[in-house]
Homo-oligomer: A and B are copies of this chain.
Amino acid sequence: MSCTPSDPLSTDVAVIGGGIIGLGIALEAQRAGHRIMLIDPEPARGATYAAAGMLAPVSELHYQEEDLLTLTLASAARWPGFARALADEGYPDIGFRTTPTLALGANAADRNALAQLREAQAKLGLDVARLSIREARKLEPLLSPDLVAAHLIAEDHQVDPRAVAAAIEARLLAAAQRSGHRADETVVRTRAVELLHENPANTRPRTRGVLLDDGREVHAREVVIANGLGATQLGGLPENLMLPLRPVHGDILRLRVPEHLRELCTATLRGMVRGLPVYLVPRNDGTVVIGATAREDGRDGVNAGAVHQLLRDAQALLPAVAELELLESTARARPGTPDNAPLLGRVEGPDGREMPGLLIATGFFRHGVLLTPIAAHIITELLAGVNDPAWDRFRPDRFSPALQEH
């Protein structure tokens, strides 16, 4: 430890939070020519570490998030290009798969729920094909013959979030190095403690950087808050800005498919099993991800009852799950919001005008992976001064009545 205060670090854009959202924003900002600095004590070890990586705007409609549909569809449409751009830059291994999703029901009530959902999906012009169980088992021979409903959603794909995060971090570091910047000043593995402002007492303060946990200051032209649930812990947030984030925990399992079951399944399977959702995402590397519960009990550890439920219900879809090797049980909290939509964009300052130098991208709940390309695009456009009013409904200050009064 040095006893003399160190020189401040400086960058164009400081991104607080190295989950997939922060990484995606840093990536697009770097491509747009900004020098970036990503600040996170452990990048990609939060909700991103647990995420299954389904890119599923159609099946996710299930959870009463119709408002989000324009955003999720826009982001799903961007994923192929997002993946291709990374591949063109030398990072092809992100597990992007355009295999379809099968929605499955285990009993009559589940079948009714899926039928209602399909009606809603059809009304919105979304492509969902009803299959017989026989047809579904032609596609996926190991599906349980006891299932009673199957829908094919051709456009819901998947990606491997850990692989995406690793690819983006490597890309950020490689590009920074080519520009002569240090790796440890591109991805700064420290906690961000507080926003720094010019004229803090003024009605027109301007964010000018971030104070780090180790006492260093980062000076930045723009600061993006993208650290999920951690956003509310930051000092120096605009007064009266409400970020109504709550932790919604999910338990998720990773399993290995043994050799004799290599053809376990190709599609992503999403089941309703006696009223409870379960999904099963097969990966290119011979593993399978099974999730996910949504708990609001505030407990950080893996819940034994949830693991039991996931294994039970996954076997109801695919009995051969009993043969798999359990590699990992993980629980993480996702940042939920009152309307299940993200908090994304600039915020109003005390004078009722947009606060310069500050952007927010959090509250992505269960859609962080899907929404990464569009969030990165929207934030990078805002950095360039371009504001698409289509996304105003996701402004981060929409739950802050005092600010909305202006």
- Which of A104-112, A297-305, A349-357 forms contacts with chain B? A297-305
Q: Are the C-beta atoms of A299 and B258 separated by less than 8 Å?
A: yes
Shortest C-beta distance, A305 to chain B (Å), equals 3
- Chain A, 292-323, CB within 8 A of any chain B CB: 299, 301-305, 307-308, 311-312, 315, 321-323
Interface of A (DSSP majority class): mixed
Shortest C-beta distance, A308 to chain B (Å), equals 4
Q: Which of B304, B322, B326 contacts A301 (CB 8 A)?
A: B326
Q: Which of B304, B321, B326 contacts A323 (CB 8 A)?
A: B304
Give residues in A with beta carbon < 8 Å to B.
253, 255-256, 258, 299, 301-305, 307-308, 311-312, 315, 321-327, 329
Shortest C-beta distance, A8 to chain B (Å), equals 42
User: What are 12 A-B contacts defined by CB distance under 8 Å?
Assistant: A299-B325, A301-B326, A302-B325, A304-B311, A304-B322, A304-B323, A304-B324, A304-B325, A304-B326, A305-B311, A305-B323, A308-B308
Shortest C-beta distance, A10 to chain B (Å), equals 43
Please, how many angstroms separate the alpha-carbon atoms of A16 and B22 in the complex?
52
Shortest C-beta distance, A201 to chain B (Å), equals 44
Report the 3 A-B pairs with minimum CB-CB distance, sorted nearest first.
Answer: A305-B322, A301-B325, A308-B311
Chain B residues within 8 Å of A253, by CB: 304
Q: Are the C-beta atoms of B255 and A304 separated by less than 8 Å?
A: yes
Sample of 20 more A-B contacts, CB < 8 Å, known A255-B304, A301-B326, A308-B308: A301-B327, A302-B325, A302-B326, A302-B327, A303-B323, A303-B324, A304-B311, A304-B321, A304-B322, A304-B323, A305-B311, A305-B321, A305-B322, A305-B323, A307-B307, A307-B326, A308-B311, A308-B312, A308-B315, A326-B329
Please, how many angstroms separate the alpha-carbon atoms of A329 and B329 in the complex?
8
Shortest C-beta distance, A247 to chain B (Å), equals 15
Chain B residues within 8 Å of A258, by CB: 299
Chain B residues within 8 Å of A308, by CB: 308, 311-312, 315, 322
Please, how many angstroms separate the alpha-carbon atoms of A305 and B322 in the complex?
4
Q: Are the C-beta atoms of B325 and A303 separated by less than 8 Å?
A: yes
User: A329: nearest residue on chain B (CB-CB)?
Assistant: B326
Chain B residues within 8 Å of A307, by CB: 307, 311, 326
Chain B residues within 8 Å of A322, by CB: 303-305, 308
Chain B residues within 8 Å of A311, by CB: 304-305, 307-308, 311
Shortest C-beta distance, A51 to chain B (Å), equals 19
Chain B residues within 8 Å of A326, by CB: 301-304, 307, 329
Chain B residues within 8 Å of A321, by CB: 304-305
Chain B CB count within 10 A is highest, among A255, A256, A303, A307, for A307
Q: Are the C-beta atoms of B312 and A312 separated by less than 8 Å?
A: yes
Please, how many angstroms separate the alpha-carbon atoms of A326 and B256 in the complex?
19
Shortest C-beta distance, A231 to chain B (Å), equals 26
Please, how many angstroms separate the alpha-carbon atoms of A304 and B326 in the complex?
5
Shortest C-beta distance, A216 to chain B (Å), equals 36
Chain B residues within 8 Å of A324, by CB: 303-304
Shortest C-beta distance, A62 to chain B (Å), equals 25
Shortest C-beta distance, A254 to chain B (Å), equals 10
Q: Are the C-beta atoms of A305 and B299 separated by less than 8 Å?
A: no
User: A253: nearest residue on chain B (CB-CB)?
Assistant: B304
User: A307: nearest residue on chain B (CB-CB)?
Assistant: B326
Q: Are the C-beta atoms of A305 and B315 separated by less than 8 Å?
A: yes
